[in-house]
Structure formats: structure tokens, C-alpha cells
Amino acid sequence: MKKNSIVGPYIKSKRTELGLSQKALGQAFEPPVTTQFVSNIERGATPLPPTHIGKICQVLRIKEEELLQMMEKEYASKLTHKVGLQIDFSPGGIPIPSWLRKLVESYPSASPEVQQMLKEACERILSSIKD
């Protein structure tokens, strides 16, 4: 499985939940696609072509909006990785740069003085955004 792959593993999990084989999923398309093609999508080796989104959503009983959001996250993750950034996604789907996640994780072990400086800096940033 390729790094930053979100869509493929999701498709595989939905397919297996429904008890479908890769061959059965491939046969649902018009014209049918090969088992290898389905495998490539599930492993992240091949991106899901836009022309197949509607059918795969219908067969796997998922909302197109949900799949499109996942595709967007995967694309953003791959793009930021190519430009040298590491992006994580919070449970709410908001991209979080790795440097920010490290800052949050290291906060509890920082000295009280450093914690206070970070708190004040964050408050200044937030107040400037609200204005």
C-alpha cells in the first residue's frame, strides 16, 4: 500500500464489509474492469478515475460526497508531501502540519515559562485573526 493512501483502503474495507470479491466489484462497471485494476486502486497504485466514482459509490453503498472528501484529503496529503511538508488530518478532517502536531505533543513536557510564552503567542495570533 502506498504512503498517504486513504481512498484505496477505504474502498477495500467497504468491499469486504459487503462480502464482494474484487472480481465482483470489477464486474459492476460498464464496461467491466479487471481484478488487477481494482487491486491497484485498493493498494493506492492507481488513483480512482473520476468516471468510476458514481458506480463505486452505488455498489459500495457510500455517499459520493464522502468519497470525494476522502479523495481531496488524499490529494492534499500527497501534494504537501511532494513539497516537503507532512500533513496529518484531525478527526474533523482539518489538515494539521507535522510541526504543529509536534508542538502540541511537546507542550506538556515544556517548562512553565515556555508554556506561558506559547500560550501568550497563541493568544496574540488568535486575537489578530478574529479582528
Residues 57 and 79 in one domain: yes
Is residue 37 situated within a structural domain?
yes
Q: What pLDDT, on the 0 to 100 scale, is given for residue 14?
A: 94
In a domain, 65, yes or no: yes
Give the domain extent around 65: 7-84
Residues 26 and 58 in one domain: yes
The CATH number of whichever domain residue 21 belongs to comes to: 1.10.260.40
pLDDT reported for residue 106:
86
Mean pLDDT over the full length of the chain: 84
Shared-domain flag, residues 66 and 123 = no
Residue 2 maps to a domain = no
pLDDT at 105: 82
pLDDT at 61: 96
Alpha helices in the chain (DSSP H): 7-17, 22-27, 35-43, 53-60, 64-82, 98-106, 112-130
pLDDT at 81: 59
**Using one digit for the tens of pLDDT, what is the confidence trace for 5-27?**
789 999 999 999 999 999 999 99
- Determine, yes or no, domain membership for 89: no
Q: Among residues 45, 51, 35, 34, which one has the least CA distance to residue 9?
A: 45
pLDDT in tens, 72-105: 888 877 776 554 555 566 666 666 677 777 888 8
| pLDDT recorded at residue 98 | 72
Count of domains forming the chain: 2
Indicate if 14 and 72 belong to the same structural domain: yes
